[in-house]
């Protein structure tokens, strides 16, 4: 069943807001990525800034600037489950809003949760989403080309669309879903709407080539490195009885080991291991120390890679 456009998006969110700022600040190891994405988004919002820069450094607006600003405003976030795709997609608007001093609105659409029930439902969902967003942003760009606000359309859990590439089992409806997405993002580019579409998928290899070809950027998110695990664990466990050496040992033990040839994901650490450590210490009425951390680690195994070697 498809609801009216009020119920189309799970929950829209306006940036800047303090809770998004806290979530953004809690991310580790992604500063470069976020900086790159924000700069790209800012150039779409206000192309005059980058034109001014080109004039200053090249004496003119060189054609390369057009190549940048004409790109389809589509970011594809790929990678295993629990590596930060949804989190970054959901808080990127906050980073853009604070950097550009512009209001940003997030429109989240989850295809797995809502788009797979009935035949053709995903297609209708996508078509409506693009219609609604087009109506909302069609007047957001001023005559000088500068936009007064930005929309971020998040197509999360887009694996249903990604399956389309598997031609053998390709259903007519799947192709229609991909076509609705292509029509939507092409429309946004042609109308120069200040709307950024972010598509998240666990299965990049299966993503329709026509979608991949249009993407301004394809970011493959990975499991955290030793340093990133240590940074996250330090941030969460600061004030406990774990010493820096204990944290480092924990970061090491949550990396690739003989027992598990893949490291823990961000969500393994943040949503499973650390909360379990807290519960264990709390139940025993003692402080969190390395003994408890080790004990919990033993029984909290990392998530298996979704499709090892396929990305
Ligand atoms: N770089 C990061 N730093 C800190 N926490 C992270 C990071 N990336 C992801 N997380 C946390 O891991 C969990 C899973 O992230 P999520 O974005 O839902 O994964 P995905 O969408 O890739 O499956 C969330 O609680 C998120 O806050
Ligand atoms: Mg996700």
Whether 216 and 292 share a structural domain: no
**H or E element at residue 246:** helix 244-253
Domain identity same for 251 and 289: yes
User: What CATH number did the domain enclosing 79 receive?
Assistant: 3.40.50.300
Is residue 100 located within the same domain as residue 133? yes
Q: Is residue 310 part of a domain?
A: no
Question: Is residue 50 domain-resident?
Answer: yes
Owner of token pair 């340093």: 227
Write b or e for each residue in 81-115: b if 16 or more Cβ atoms lie within 10 A of its Cβ, otherwise e. ebbbbbbbbbbbbbbbbbebebebbbbbbbbeebb
Q: Are residues 10 and 108 in the same domain?
A: yes
Question: Could you report the per-residue pLDDT of 193-204, keeping only the tens digit for each?
Answer: 999 999 999 989
Residue 251 CB–ligand 1 contact under 6 Å: no
Q: Which percentage of the chain shows pLDDT scores above 70?
A: 89
Q: Which residue's CA is the nearest one to ligand 1's atom 15?
A: 84
> Which residue's structure tokens are 């402080």?
287
- Domain end residue (candidates: 221, 246, 278): 221
φ, ψ (nearest 5 deg) of residue 214: -80, -20
Asked if residue 164 and residue 119 are part of one domain, the reply reads: yes
**Nearest atom within ligand 1 for CA of residue 156:** 21
Domain limit, last residue, from 196, 221, 246: 221
Judge if 29 and 176 occupy the same domain: yes
Q: What is the mean pLDDT of residues 299-309?
A: 82
Structure confidence by residue, pLDDT tens digits, 202-261:
989 888 889 999 999 999 999 999 999 999 999 999 999 999 999 999 999 999 999 899
Cβ–Cβ under 8 Å, residues 129 and 158:
no
Supply the range of the domain harboring residue 245: 226-299
**Confidence band of 165 (pLDDT split at 50, 70, 90):** very low
- Residue written as token pair 């939507």: 184
The pick from 19, 267, 269 for probing ligand 1's pocket by mutation, whose C-beta has the most ligand atoms within 8 angstroms, reads: 267
The CATH number of the domain holding residue 289 is 1.10.8
Contact 117, 29 (CB under 8 A): no
Residue 179 lies in a domain: yes
Q: pLDDT class for 168, splitting at 50, 70, 90? A: very low
Same domain, 67 and 28: yes
**Domain presence at residue 305:** no
Is residue 97 scored above 80 in pLDDT? yes
Which one, of 162, 227, 231, lies nearest residue 200 by Cα?
162
| pLDDT one-digit tens code per residue, 59-84 | 999 999 999 988 999 999 999 999 99
The pLDDT assigned to 157 comes to 87
Residue 174 has pLDDT above 90, yes or no: no
Q: What is the pLDDT of residues 22-60, one digit of tens each?
A: 999 999 999 999 999 999 999 989 999 999 999 999 999
Question: pLDDT category, 173, cuts 50, 70, 90?
Answer: low
- In this structure, the answer to whether residues 193 and 235 fall within a common structural domain is no
| Residue 262 within a domain | yes
Whether residue 13 is contained in a domain is answered as yes
User: Residues 200, 236: one domain?
Assistant: no
What separation in Å is there between the alpha carbon of 85 and the centre of ligand 1? 7
Residue scoring higher pLDDT (9 or 12): 12
Q: Does residue 187 sit in the same domain as residue 239? A: no
Domain total in the chain: 2
Please give the distance, rounded to the nearest whole angstrom, from the Cα atom of residue 81 to the centre of ligand 2. Answer: 7
Q: Does 207 lie in the same domain as 251?
A: no
* Overall size of the chain counted in residues: 311
Q: Could you tell me if residue 157 is inside a domain?
A: yes
Token pair of 30 as six digits = 């992604």
Residue 113 or residue 1, greater confidence: 113
pLDDT above 80 (res 98): yes
Ligand nearest to the CA of 229: 1
Residue 288 lies in a domain: yes
Question: Among 84, 112, 251, 263, which is best to mutate for testing ligand 1, by the most ligand atoms less than 8 A from CB?
Answer: 84
Instruction: Verify that 114 and 240 share a domain, yes or no.
Output: no
Which residue, 188, 221, 254, sits at the end of a domain? 221
Q: Is 83 in the pocket of ligand 1 (CB under 6 A)?
A: yes
* Contact partners, residue 272, CB within 8 Å, separation at least 6: 300
């Amino acid at each position: 069943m498809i609801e009216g456009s009020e119920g189309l998006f799970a929950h829209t969110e306006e940036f800047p807001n303090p809770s998004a700022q806290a979530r953004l600040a809690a991310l580790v190891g992604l500063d470069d990525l976020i900086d790159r994405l924000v700069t790209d988004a800012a150039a779409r919002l206000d192309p005059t800034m980058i034109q001014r820069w080109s004039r200053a450094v090249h004496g003119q607006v060189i054609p390369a600037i057009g190549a940048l600003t004409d790109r389809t405003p589509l970011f594809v976030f790929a990678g295993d489950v629990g590596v930060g795709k949804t989190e970054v997609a959901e808080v990127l608007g906050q980073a853009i809003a604070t950097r550009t001093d512009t209001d940003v609105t997030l429109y989240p659409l989850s295809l797995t949760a809502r788009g797979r029930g009935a035949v053709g439902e995903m297609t209708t969902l996508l078509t409506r989403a693009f219609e609604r967003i087009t109506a909302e942003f069609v007047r957001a760009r001023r005559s000088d080309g500068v936009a007064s606000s930005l929309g971020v359309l998040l197509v999360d859990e887009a694996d249903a669309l990604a399956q389309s590439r598997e031609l053998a089992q390709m259903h007519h409806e799947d192709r229609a879903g991909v076509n609705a997405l292509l029509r939507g993002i092409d429309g946004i580019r042609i109308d120069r709407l200040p709307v950024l579409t972010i598509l998240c998928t666990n299965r990049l290899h299966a993503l329709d080539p026509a979608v991949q070809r249009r993407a301004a950027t394809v970011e493959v998110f990975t499991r955290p490195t030793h340093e990133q695990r240590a940074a996250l664990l330090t941030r969460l466990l600061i004030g406990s009885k774990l010493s820096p050496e204990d944290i480092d040992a924990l970061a090491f033990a949550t990396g690739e080991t003989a027992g598990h040839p893949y490291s823990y994901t961000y969500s393994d650490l943040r949503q499973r291991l650390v909360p379990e450590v807290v519960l264990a210490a709390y139940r025993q009425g003692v402080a969190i120390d390395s003994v408890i951390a080790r004990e919990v680690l033993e029984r909290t195994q990392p998530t298996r890679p979704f499709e090892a070697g396929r990305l």
